[in-house]
Structure 1
C-alpha cells in the first residue's frame, strides 16, 4: 500500500483532518502522555495512518512500554515508515513518518523489547485501528 504516494495541499489536509489530528500529523505535535485512545488498547488488528490509511503496525507487535503512548517493536512492513533525524527541542531523536503521505507519527527509540530492541512510540491521534473481525 505504500507505493502510491498521497500528496495534498495544506488546505486539503486542514479540511480532512480535525484540528487535533492536523497538529500531530502535519505539524509534528505530540499528544499528552496517557491520553491517547490507543495507549492501553488490547484490540487486535492493523494500525493505519490517520491521514492516508497506510497500514503501519500490527497489533501483535504492540506492547506496554510505560511511556504513555502506544508502542510497537516493529512496523507491519519496514517500507511503510520513513525515519528522519529530528533535532527539535534540544534533542537528537529519530522521527517516524508515514512513507505514503509524509505525516508525522511519533519517534523510534532503541530501548524496546526483543526481538528488535526498538520502541516505535506513536501518537494515538496519528493512527486508526482497523480492528480484526
Structure 2
C-alpha cells in the first residue's frame, strides 16, 4: 500500500516553513560537539562578521558555515530535490541563497578570513567530516 502525501494549504505550508530553524540546528550542534574535542574557543553567529557565520574563530579569522543541503542547493540527492509545488519560487529562493553565500565568502576572503562549508549530508560520515575539520585548522 502506498501512502500519499497530503497537500497542505498555503497558510499551513507557510507556518511549517516559518518554523524551520536557522540557528542551533541539529547539524550545527553536531559540528560544534565535534569541534569541542580539538578546537574549542569558537564564537557563534557573529553579526559583526560578513555572512554571520555559524561558527567563528575570530583570532584565527576562520569561519565555518553549516549549510542545509536543500536550502543552499548542494549537489547531493537532498539538495537536488526540488518541490513540485511552487517550483519557480523555490528555484529563485535557492538561487538567491547561493548568490548570497558566494558574496559573503568573497567579502570574508577580502578581509583575510578562511571559510569552510560543512554540508548537512556530510554528517553521515563523521570520521570523514572530522578529518575535514581538522585539516581546516
**TM-score, normalised on structure 2?**
0.26
Specify the structure having the higher radius of gyration (Cα): 2
Q: Point out the structure with the larger helix share.
A: 2
**TM-score, normalised on structure 1?**
0.27
